[in-house]
Amino acid sequence: MPQDLDRLIAKSVRDVPDFPEPGVVFKDITPLLADSEVFGAVVAAVADHHRGATVDHVVGLEARGFIFAAPIALALGAAFVPVRKSGKLPSDTLSATYDLEYGTATVEMHTDAIAPGGRVLIVDDVLATGGTGRAAVDLVRRAGGTVVGFSVLMELAFLQGREKLADVELHALSVV
């Protein structure tokens, strides 16, 4: 892993003002994904951080969390579990609804995705307000799993999403 991973992440994530709506600065990770060295270093850094813990499942949050969670699951020898927006999964699901600035949203996970007692790492790209992350933690626990960690590429500290996840170990490769 490069010593200056935080600098590489900052250089590889593009700010897009007023997307998807006015006043929002979107963190575009596609330049990072286009650089195999940086992308590989991010996957390795998250996997290495969690190698000491037993991880049975890596949960990836739709949609950009999938991109990181799947290779991290492979690196850890764990199963990949998607948490998706409502109506996207084909079998029986558990759902969790959370607040947005302008309404609510719902995410779902298959009821049989995590065995009772399964040890789960949750992965996403950016931690903003923490609503999606909190919903994912709640889904894992309702399924009988134990959250052993929550890792993100980037934490937007000014939005205070960490506060909604105070009961889980949060690991951010970059904090802005």
Q: Which fold has domain 53-175?
A: Rossmann fold (3.40.50)
The residue ranges of every structural domain in the chain are 53-175
Q: Left, alpha or beta for 15 (phi > 0: left; psi -120 to 50: alpha)?
A: beta
Q: How confident is the model at residue 1 (pLDDT cuts 50, 70, 90)?
A: very low
What per-residue confidence (pLDDT) applies to 138? 97
**Span 32-63, pLDDT tens digits:** 999 999 999 999 999 999 999 999 999 999 99
What is the mean predicted confidence (pLDDT) over 3-12? 91
Asked about 101 being catalytic, the answer comes back as yes
Is the four-CA dihedral 68, 102, 25, 154 of positive or negative sign?
A: negative
pLDDT at 3: 59
Phi, psi dihedrals of residue 136, rounded to the nearest 5°: -65, -45
- What pLDDT digit, counting tens, does each position of 68-79 carry? 999 999 999 999
Strand order in the sheet with 93-100: 93-100, 103-110, 79-85, 57-61, 119-127, 146-155, 170-175
Active-site residue, selected from the candidate residues 7, 37, 51, 64: 64
Candidates 37, 101, 119, 162; catalytic one = 101
Helix H or strand E segment including 82: strand 79-85
What's the pLDDT score for residue 46? Answer: 98
Asked if pLDDT for residue 106 goes beyond 70, the answer is: yes
Tokens matching residue 89: 């999964």
Q: Is the peptide bond before 20 cis (omega within 30 degrees of 0)?
A: yes
Decide if 141 is catalytic. Answer: no
Predicted confidence (pLDDT) per residue in 113-171, tens digit: 999 999 999 999 999 999 999 999 999 999 999 999 999 999 999 999 999 999 999 99
Q: What is the pTM of this model?
A: 0.95
